[in-house]
Homo-oligomer: A and B are copies of this chain.
Amino acid sequence: MRIQQLEYLEKIVETGSINEAAKQLFISQPSLSQAMKEMEKEYKIQLFYRTKLGITLTNEGREFINYSRGILDQVNLLDERFGKTTTRKHIFSVSGQHYAFVVHAFVELVKKIGQDEYQFTLRETQTQNVLDDIQTFKSELGLNDL
């Protein structure tokens, strides 16, 4: 079992959907699905009922995530004490309209640079908001189709 898998699980429960969780975790949906399968196999339990409207936890799954949170809480304590997040990160933010190529390029950038030194933010909004974000220095980069 990897700590990462537990974090994945948390996100899935939070969103109620493997698809949505995968987007927020910046990984592909099959990878996430497989990661959960691995844990289910490792502990020989079933975590979710898979339905067409996302997923719901089984009773075992509910119990499992309680233990999982105990672990993640301890991990967070360690990370906070030993400066995983204490060092102020540089910020790089992009505001733009919703286009697949924007999201894709942004994800690729995040993966290439890594999140050790930078805090990345992508804001998907409307034309005028993009202009405002740039004018107020809320984002470093704006994309419009004007």
A interface residues with partner B (beta carbon < 8 Å): 1-3, 43-45, 63-64, 67-68, 70-71, 73-75, 77-78, 81-84
Task: Return the chain B residue nearest A116 by Cβ.
Answer: B42
Q: Is the CB of A63 within 8 A of B44?
A: no
A44-B87 Cα distance, complex, nearest whole Å: 11
Q: Is the CB of B3 within 8 A of A45?
A: no
Q: Which residues on the B side are within 8 Å of A78 (C-beta)?
A: 1, 64, 67-68, 70-71
Q: Is the CB of A74 within 8 A of B77?
A: no
Report which of B43, B74, B81 forms a contact with A74, defined as CB distance below 8 A: B74
Q: Is the CB of B43 within 8 A of A83?
A: yes
Report which of B3, B43, B83 forms a contact with A44, defined as CB distance below 8 A: B83
A83-B45 Cα distance, complex, nearest whole Å: 10
A75-B6 Cα distance, complex, nearest whole Å: 11
Task: Return the chain B residue nearest A81 by Cβ.
Answer: B67
Q: Which residues on the B side are within 8 Å of A74 (C-beta)?
A: 67, 70-71, 73-74
Known: A2-B2, A3-B2, A74-B70. A64 touches B82 (CB 8 A): yes
Task: Return the chain B residue nearest A77 by Cβ.
Answer: B67
Q: Which residues on the B side are within 8 Å of A75 (C-beta)?
A: 1, 71
Q: Which residues on the B side are within 8 Å of A70 (C-beta)?
A: 74, 77-78
CB of A97, distance to nearest CB on chain B (Å): 37
Task: Return the chain B residue nearest A6 by Cβ.
Answer: B78
Q: Which residues on the B side are within 8 Å of A45 (C-beta)?
A: 82
